[in-house]
């Protein structure tokens, strides 16, 4: 019985560690995982894969963190700050990636708060692009 439980647990762990394959409508589309790694490691590539002007929402913290104000924002090539790769070892943040047909939502949550940043990547003519960027909270 112990061996069965050990084998079952090992199988569950290995299956949880496998990379998600994004289901897309274009069978010749680039692999999202390859795109994702390159997006964060190559600044020129990152700039080429953002649909500028990039729209979204952003929060401004006012009153010493007691209040957040949200406003619509548009980023251009001139005011975009390059994104860094997520640090999955940093316990101050929790990450979640949701896969939908031709869309991937990459979310970062500040641990033990209701604040998150979401990036929406969409497939366009076989290539992935950052299309929408938002920061949100329920405050």
Query: Would you list the domain boundaries of the chain?
Result: 22-136
Tokens of 124: 């366009």
What mean pLDDT do residues 53-68 have? 74
Segment 25-39, tens digit of pLDDT: 888 999 999 999 999
pLDDT surpassing 70 at residue 67: no
Give the helix, strand, coil percentages of the chain, each rounded to 5.
25, 40, 35
pLDDT top residue among 72 and 62: 72
Can you give the length of the chain in residues? 139
Helix (H) or strand (E) holding 46: helix 43-48
* pLDDT, position 11: 35
How many other CB atoms are found less than 10 A from the CB of residue 132? 16
**Which of these, 107, 110, 97, 104, lies nearest to 68 by C-alpha position?**
110
* pLDDT, position 124: 96
Confidence of residue 74 (pLDDT cuts 50, 70, 90): very high
Confidence of residue 64 (pLDDT cuts 50, 70, 90): low
What mean pLDDT do residues 84-98 have? 90
pLDDT surpassing 50 at residue 17: no
Instruction: Compute φ and ψ for 30, nearest 5 degrees.
Output: -65, 150
- CATH T-level assignment (fold) for domain 22-136: Nuclear Transport Factor 2; Chain: A, (3.10.450)
Where b means 16+ CB within 10 Å and e means fewer, 99-109 reads eeebbbebbbb
């Amino acid at each position: 019985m112990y061996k069965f439980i050990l084998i079952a647990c090992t199988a569950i762990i290995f299956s949880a560690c496998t990379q998600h394959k994004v289901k897309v409508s274009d069978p010749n589309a680039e692999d999202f995982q390859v795109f994702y790694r390159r997006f964060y490691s190559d600044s020129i590539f990152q700039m080429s894969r953002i649909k500028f002007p990039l729209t979204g929402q952003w929060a401004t913290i006012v009153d010493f963190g007691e209040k957040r104000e949200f406003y619509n924002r548009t980023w251009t090539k001139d005011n975009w700050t390059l994104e860094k790769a997520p640090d999955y070892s940093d316990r101050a943040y929790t990450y979640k990636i949701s896969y939908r047909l031709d869309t991937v939502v990459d979310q970062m949550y500040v641990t033990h708060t209701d604040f998150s940043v979401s990036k929406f990547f969409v497939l366009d003519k076989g290539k992935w692009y950052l299309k929408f960027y938002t920061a949100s909270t329920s405050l």
